[in-house]
Structure 1
Amino acid sequence: MELDRFDRQLLNLIQDDAAQTAERLAEQVALSPSAIQRRLRRLREQGVIVRDAAVVDPRKVGRPTFFIVSLQVERERPELLAQLRTWLAAQAPIQQVFYVTGEADFVLVITAPDTETYDGLMARMVADNPNVRRFTTNVALSVVKQGMTIPVPLEAPG
């Protein structure tokens, strides 16, 4: 799919605040509200916009602690990795999972109300996934920056 400058502007704007009305977006992009709605519908249908989500303050909903986990597996056989990926994706406290290079095989971002809850999740992970060799945990002392925004250049690359 080819993205023009208007599409790129829209993507940047709605990543910042997806609740903006078509009228508000039209003021910033110089298109009509109906053109904005058509473009957003097309971007969703073509899978450029994967989903709209609300950003929640974790402290206000009882999930104040973030754990960054480096996970090593015993064997990298495709079926064992697929089983682990499926398990990780099904766990609500696990916000992000990255399959990475280096010493770890996966890096996880997990949120939990306390260390006891985190320990319970990790005990279940090890019990349910015998291919997990080991994991190391870093506890976030504070969050300096958190986001999911993908910067979209206004001009097409190349």
Structure 2
Amino acid sequence: MELDRHDRHLLRLVQDDIGASAEQLAAQVPLSPSSIQRRLRRMREAGVIEREVAVVDPAALGRPTFFIVSLQVERERPELLNQLRRWLAAQEHIQQAFYVTGESDFVLVVAAPDTESYDALMGRLVSENPNVSRFTTNVALSVVKRGLSIPIPPHPAD
């Protein structure tokens, strides 16, 4: 899908606040509210906007602990990697999972209510995925920045 400068501007704005009304967005993008609604609908239908989510304050839920996990697998056979990917995607405490280059094969961001829950998750990971050879864990002491915004380059004509 070709994105013009207005689409790109809209994407920057809705990444910061998807709850902004079409009228509020129209105050910042030189388009009518109905045009903004059509553009957003088109971007949703095309898959440019994958999902709309709420960002929840961790303190409101008892301050979960964040763990950064590096996983190594024994074999990188496609069927084994796909099985592990499906398992990781199905776990509610795993916020993000990346297949990476370097010493590790996967890097995970895990938000668990406590270390016991994290330990149980990792126990299940190892027992249900025999291809996982080892993992290392870093515990986040504080959150400096948290987000999922994607930098949007300017339109080539700009």
TM, length-normalised to structure 2: 0.97
Matches within 5 A, 1:43-62: 43-62=43-62
Matches within 5 A, 1:5-154: 5-154=5-154
Contact 1:63–1:112, Cα closer than 8 Å, also in 2: no
* C-alpha displacement of 1:142: 0.4
* C-alpha displacement of 1:157: 8.1
1:118-139 residue CA offsets vs partner (Å, 9 max, x unmatched): 0000000001000000000000
The amino acid that maps onto 1:8 is: R
Contact 1:14–1:20, Cα closer than 8 Å, also in 2: yes
Contact 1:67–1:140, Cα closer than 8 Å, also in 2: yes
Unaligned runs of 5+ in 2: none
Partner Cα separation in structure 1 for residue 146 and residue 103 of structure 2: 24
Partner Cα separation in structure 2 for residue 157 and residue 69 of structure 1: 41
SS across alignment from 1:28: coil
Percentage identity across aligned positions?
72
The amino acid that maps onto 1:133 is: S
1:2 and 2:2 aligned: yes
* C-alpha displacement of 1:30: 1.2
Partner Cα separation in structure 2 for residue 106 and residue 157 of structure 1: 38
* C-alpha displacement of 1:154: 2.7
Partner Cα separation in structure 1 for residue 126 and residue 63 of structure 2: 22
TM, length-normalised to structure 1: 0.97
1:49-74 residue CA offsets vs partner (Å, 9 max, x unmatched): 00100000112113521000000001
* C-alpha displacement of 1:113: 1.0
Of the structure 1 ranges 53-62 and 8-17, higher mean CA displacement relative to structure 2 is found in: 53-62
Partner Cα separation in structure 1 for residue 112 and residue 137 of structure 2: 13
Cα distance 1:63–1:83, how it changes in 2: closer, same or farther (>3 A)? farther
- How many aligned positions are there? 158
Cα distance 1:157–1:73, how it changes in 2: closer, same or farther (>3 A)? farther
Partner Cα separation in structure 1 for residue 26 and residue 120 of structure 2: 48
